[in-house]
Structure 1
Amino acid sequence: MNASSLTRRRTAVTAAVSGTVLALSALVAHAMPFGHPAPDVEAKGVMLLDEKGRSVYAKDAGTPRPMASTAKIMVASVVLSTEGVDLERKVQVRQRYRDYVTEHHASTADLQTGDKVTVRQLLYASLLPSGADAAYALADTFGTGATGAERTRSFVAKMNAKARELRLRETTYKTFDGHGKDTSTPAELAKLARHAMENATFRKVVRTKKYKGDAPAANGRTRTYTWTNTNQLLGAYDGAIGIKTGTTARAGKCLVFAATRGDKTFVGALMDSGDRFTDAAKILNHGFGDDDGDVEIPELPAEGENG
C-alpha cells in the first residue's frame, strides 16, 4: 500500500470512529434529559415517551414479554374505534363471564348474572378493577359469530388487526384479558397507550379513581356498582392521568402510565417489576427533571391475577 492510499484509509477510519462517537453521544444525551442520571428501577423492561413520541428513557424496551392485563388497553381501543359504537348500549351479563373469572383466578368487576350494564360501564369495569368478566362481555358483544367462542376469537383477531394497523410488530394477543401467551414490548405498549389516550372517553375512564353507577338488576331492581382503579399512581403522583396495570405469574407486575405537568406529558410502560408504582414515579420524575422527589408509592394488595 502506497503512502497516499494509507493516508486515505486512515482518514476514512477516523471519520467512521468520530461519527460513531457522535451518534452514541446523541443517544446518551437523549436518554438523560436535563443532565440527570438515569433512574435505578427494578423493572426488566421500560419505555418513556414524551408528548411528541420521542424516547426519553428506555431499558430493554424492545424485548417481547408477557403483558398481562395491559391487554385490556387494546380491548378498549377496539371497542372505541368501532364505527357507530353506542356507549349506552345495554349488555346482559352472562354466567359464563363469571365462570371465566373463577376458572382463571382472574381479577373481576363482580358483574352479576342477568344484570344489564352499558358498554360505557363495561369499559370502566375492564380498566379500573381490571375485570376479566367485563373484558369478556365486551369481546362477546363486539366480536362476530354464532357462538360465544366464535365471537371472542373474532374479537381477539380484531385486537391483532389493530396492532398491525398501529405497526406494533412485536405485539400478539391470544386472549381478550392477557392471561395467556399475550406478549408485547415496553416500547409498543407505550406507543399503544399514546394512541389510546387520543380518545376522550378512554382518557376520562383511565384517570378515574373510583366509579359508581347503577344498572338494572336481574331481579327487576337497581344494582349499584362501585369500581376502584388499580392504578395507585392516581392521587399519589403529581400529574398522574392513567392508565392500566397488569399482573400474572408469568408477566410479573406491569404498568402502563401517563402524567402531565404544565405543557409536558409523558407516557410510559414498564414490565416485570417488583415495585411498579415506585419505578413509574422514578421514571416520570426523570422525565420531568425532578429526580430528587419522594417517589415511594406502596402497592396495595390486589384481588386475583391479571389486575
Structure 2
Amino acid sequence: MKIDNITPRQYILRLNHHPPDYRLQIQNSPVQKLNKQIDLTNKSITESIKKKIQLRKISQISSYQHYDPINFPQSNTMSIDTKQFHIFTKKNSRANTCIQQLSYTSDYSINHQKQKKPQQPQTAIKRNKRVSPIHIPLCPSNPFGPPITAQSWCIINGKDGSMLAGYNEKLKSQIASITKIMTCWLSLKFISLISLDLDNTYFTVPEAAEIIGGTSAQLQNGDQLNIRDLLYGLMLPSGNDAAITLKYNFEQNIGINFIDEMNNCAKEFGLKSTQYMNPHGLYHKFNYSSALDIGILCYQTLQNEHFANIVKTKIYFSEIIDKFGNIKEILWENTNKLLDNGFQGVKTGQTKEAGPCVVEYYQDNNNSYIIVLLNCKSTDQRWDDTIKLLEWIKQ
C-alpha cells in the first residue's frame, strides 16, 4: 500500500475505519488459511473411513436371535450365492447400516453341508468313563445244576474225596480268607511235628499283626495267647492279625519260611491251580486257587480232629494277656451262618477282588458233602446258593 501524500494520522484513521470483513482478511493470512483447509480435509477423510467401516459390519444371525422393530423399522432382503441377507437401516442415520446374514437358506442340502458342528472345548487330560465292576453269573448257562450266582463251584464227596459235580471248578480265582484253611492246617502240622502243647504254648502278637487291617480278632501288639486260642481267632472271626501272629512265631521259633511251606503242602495234596503269597488272603495277584483245589484241601484237613472241631464252633471265649500283664477276655463268633441242620463248617471269605466265597461241610446219616462256592453275587446269596446245590445233589 502506498502511503505517499498521506500523513501518518490519516493512515491510522483509515485503518480504524476499515469494515469488519477487511479486518478479518488481514488476520487470516495465507498460512492460516492453508492450515485450516488441511484440518478440514483430515476430518472429512476420517469421517468417510468410519462410515465405510460401519457399512462393512456383518454378523451371522442365529436361529434364536430376535429383531427389534423399533431399532430396525425398515427392512430389505437380497440374495447372494444362495445366502439371504437382511439390511436393517435405522431412522435418521445415513451410514449406520447393519447387514446380518441369515442362518437358513431355501436350499436345505447346501445349508446342511456347509453348516459346521460346534466344537467341544478340549481339556488337558482326557479320562475314560469309569466302569463299575459287574458280576456275571456263569452258572445259568451250565447244562446241569440249579441256576446259582457263583462264578465257579464244586461239590466233593465227603466220604472219599471224589468230585460229584462242578462248574468252572478249575478256574483260578482270588479266594480271600479261604486261604486261612491252609494256614490253620499247616499250623496244626507244625504243632504235631514238634509236639507243642496247644494250651500251654503262648505266642506273642507282633506289631505287623495289629496294623494288618481287614477282619480282625482284636489282637494288639504285645498280647500273648496260647496256640489253641490263636487258631480259634484265626478261623472264627477270620482274624488277619491271628494269621500274621502264627506266621511270625513259627518262623521265629522253627526257622522256616511259612509261605513256602504252604505252597509245599499244596503240591503234596495235588492242588494244581493253587498258589499262596500270604497267610490271610488279602489281595495279592499271585494268591489264588480253584473250587476243585479247595474241595480237595478241605477233604484232607477235615480228617484232622482239631481242625474239624475248630471250624464247627459257633462262639469261643479267649483269655489274652496284654503287654502290661493284664488279662482281657474276648468273645469270637463264627462268620459262618450255616452251622445248623447238618452243616459243620468250614470257612467264609470275602474281598473286593474275590467276591463273597464260602466252603461248607454237610453231613447227615446218609450223605457227606463239601460244597465250595467262589465269587457269589452277594454275601447273603452265597447261603442261598449253598442250599440250592445241597438240595439238588441230594435228589
User: What TM bracket, shorter-length normalisation?
Assistant: 0.7 to 0.9
Give, as a single letter, the amino acid of the residue that structure 2 aligns with 1:128. L
Written as runs of structure 1 = structure 2, the 5 A alignment for 1:196-235 is: 196-235=301-340
Query: What does 1:66-81 correspond to in 2, within 5 Å?
Result: 66-81=174-189
- The answer on 1:276 being equivalent to 2:372 is no
1:143 and 1:284 map into 2 onto residues whose CA distance is: 40
Q: TM-score by structure 1 length? A: 0.75
Which of residues 189, 193, 197 in structure 2 aligns to 1:86?
197
Q: What value does the CA root-mean-square deviation take over the aligned residues?
A: 2.0
Unaligned runs of at least 5 residues, structure 2: 1-141
Q: Which residue identity does 1:96 align to in structure 2?
A: A
**CA deviation string 1:121-159 (max 9, x = no partner):** 11111111100000000111122589xxx96xx111110
Q: Does 1:96 align with 2:208?
A: yes
Aligned position for 2:292 = 187
How far the C-alpha of 1:226 sits from its partner, in A, is 0.7
The one-letter code sitting in structure 2 at the alignment partner of 1:135 is A
| Aligned counterparts of 1:92 and 1:256: Cα–Cα separation in 2 | 30
Which AA in structure 2 matches 1:95? Answer: E
Residues 1:46 and 2:149 are matched in the alignment: no
- Could you tell me whether the CA contact under 8 Å between 1:64 and 1:184 is conserved in 2? yes
Alpha-carbon distance in structure 2 between the residues aligned to 1:155 and 1:211: 26
| Contact 1:144–1:155, Cα closer than 8 Å, also in 2 | no
Please report how far the alpha carbon of residue 219 of structure 1 lies from its aligned counterpart in structure 2 after TM superposition.
Answer: 2.7
SS of equivalent to 1:76: helix
Bigger RCO of structures 1 and 2 (CA < 8 A, at least 6 apart):
1
Q: Can you list the C-alpha shifts for 1:252-300, whole angstroms capped at 9, x where unaligned?
A: 11111101111311012110002211111111222333xxxxxxxxxxx
Moved beyond 6 Å, runs of 4+: none
- Aligned equivalent of 1:141: 249
Q: Secondary structure at the match of 1:212?
A: strand
| Contact persistence 1:49–1:267 (CA under 8 A) | yes
- Counterpart Cα distance in 2 of 1:156 and 1:145: 15
Map residues 1-307 of structure 1 onto 2, 5 A cutoff: 38-50=145-157, 51-82=159-190, 83=193, 84-88=195-199, 89-101=201-213, 106-143=214-251, 154-179=257-282, 180-181=284-285, 182-235=287-340, 238-274=341-377, 275-289=381-395
Instruction: Check whether the contact 1:266–1:287 (CA below 8 A) recurs between aligned residues.
Output: no
| 1:15-43 Cα shifts (integer Å, max 9, x gaps) | xxxxxxxxxxxxxxxx99xxxx6221100
Q: For the residues of structure 2 that align with 1:85 and 1:257, how far apart are their CA atoms? A: 29
What percentage of residue pairs aligned between the two structures are identical? 29
After TM superposition, give the deviation of residue 221 of structure 1 in Å: 2.4
Please, what TM-score do these two structures have when normalized by structure 2? Answer: 0.59
Q: Residues 206 and 248 of structure 2 are in contact (CA less than 8 Å); yes or no, is this contact kept in structure 1?
A: no
Provide structure 1 residue ranges, at least 5 long, that are not aligned to the other structure: 1-30, 290-307
Between the aligned partners of 1:143 and 1:44, the Cα distance in structure 2 is 36
Cα pair distance change 1:210/1:219, threshold 3 Å = same
